[in-house]
Amino acid sequence: MSFDQWLTQRIEKTKQAGLYRRLRTMSTAPQPQMVVNGTKQIVFSSNNYLGLANDPILIEKALETLNEFGLGSSGSRLTTGNTEWHEKLEQRIANFKKMEAALLFSSGYLANMGVLSSLPVKGDVLLSDQLNHASIIDGCRLSKAETVIYQHADMNSLAQKLRETQKYNRRFIVTDGVFSMDGTIAPLDKIMKLAKRYDAYVIVDDAHATGVLGEGGRGTSELFGVSPDVVIGTLSKAVGIEGGFVSGSSVLIDFLLNHARTFIFQTAVPPASCAAAYAAIDMIEKGKDKRENLLRKIKIIKNTLEAMGFKVYGQDTPIIPVIIGDAETSVQFSKKLQENGIYAPAIRPPTVPNGESRIRLTVTAAHNDTQIEHLLTSFKGIGRELKMIT
């Protein structure tokens, strides 16, 4: 069998399992209305929660820095890739997150992998929420420590696992701040209490909460008034740009700079992205009205869909999963939405449990009331047509 024949066979299996993926082409900048595969769609599936990815002030800032510093950083941070913009942004992130220091990575994915593969050592254990993001799962796999999974956001389950893991040298609880498929918020206040009681460290991935939750958009730590040991984040969602970060104590950052392989061996993010992210964080800090506006939209969508009879998961976050049930109906629902000019993907097993296939909606501060109205009317029509609601 040739190399390509072998791969074709494997792809065939992926197709048979209903897991074959295809790319869609966006022909416009990130905004609520986009051209997706050649047709105009209102996009309800982007992570551009505050609409900053297309902000003219941030674009201007990036252009200015592009002209001064060029396109790529051309080296890792520890060789020739470190500019004053990287350092300024790290200080800005630390100050924003109310932590001593921060370290930039090329993505949130790599930040999670870097922390989890370097911090816990052999003889330690990672206690990981069942619904944690793939980058946490991969980080746990890379770690020399063992991993124990606890039930999603279930404090009894976490307490039990903490009791059962007393023989390990150190214990690290690792959780998403906001869970990407369920839109739930980790009960960080309770997690911190358990960590204190059982002498464990806490690592939070605040990818979806940064810029969105808390008075100043600082994320779940601010929402619950707690200070975990390690707070990871991304610049690719509400911040609207690209890159990841870790914030925490100065010694943590010094440690990661020396030990996190995804930091050491990766080319630094472009300076222009750093300058734009710096300005975006300024906007986020001052953007309480944008967050309130976003929260209002989240509530309208959730409440209206629930009143129509749909089962909606999650809490008050921009991730709004509408449970459809079986995988086929979810795909059908998503296709019908697309025919109505709405782009929102169906999420099926194994990403979510059997019988819990869903339309995963995300809403941003940039969506206008007419677009939201159209979404809700479409849900009502399709829900009735598919006999899901009356």
* Contacts with ligand PMP, residue ranges (CB under 6 A): 107-109, 112, 133, 135, 176, 180, 205, 207-208, 234, 236, 244
Nearest 5°: phi and psi at 119? -75, -60
Closest contact distance (angstroms) between CB of 177 and ligand PMP is: 8
Nearer to ligand PMP, 184 or 334 (CB): 184
Q: Measured from the CB atom, is 139 or 383 closer to ligand PMP?
A: 139
Please give the Cα distance from 264 to 261 (Å, whole number): 5
User: CA nearest 45: which of 347, 329, 274, 260?
Assistant: 347
Q: Token pair for residue 208? A: 């979806």
Q: How far is the CB of 276 from ligand PMP (least distance, A)?
A: 15
CA 167 to chain CA centroid, nearest Å: 33
Identify which of residues 234 and 364 has a Cβ nearer to ligand PMP in the complex: 234
Q: Are 45 and 344 in contact (CB under 8 A)?
A: yes
Structure tokens at 70: 């060029």
Q: Could you give the residue ranges of the DSSP H alpha helices within the chain?
A: 3-16, 56-69, 84-97, 108-118, 134-142, 155-164, 188-198, 220-224, 250-259, 261-264, 271-285, 288-308, 327-339, 369-385
Q: Which is nearer to ligand PMP, 133 or 302 (CB)?
A: 133
Q: Smallest distance from the beta carbon of 341 to ligand PMP, in angstroms?
A: 25
Nearer to ligand PMP, 246 or 372 (CB): 246
* Alpha-carbon gap, residue 309 to 387, rounded angstroms: 11
- The CB-nearest residue to ligand PMP is 108
Kindly list the catalytic residues: 180, 208, 237
Question: Can you say how many angstroms the Cα of residue 159 is from the centroid of all Cα atoms in its chain?
Answer: 26
Q: How far is the CB of 321 from ligand PMP (least distance, A)?
A: 13
Minimum CB separation of residue 207 from ligand PMP in Å reads 4
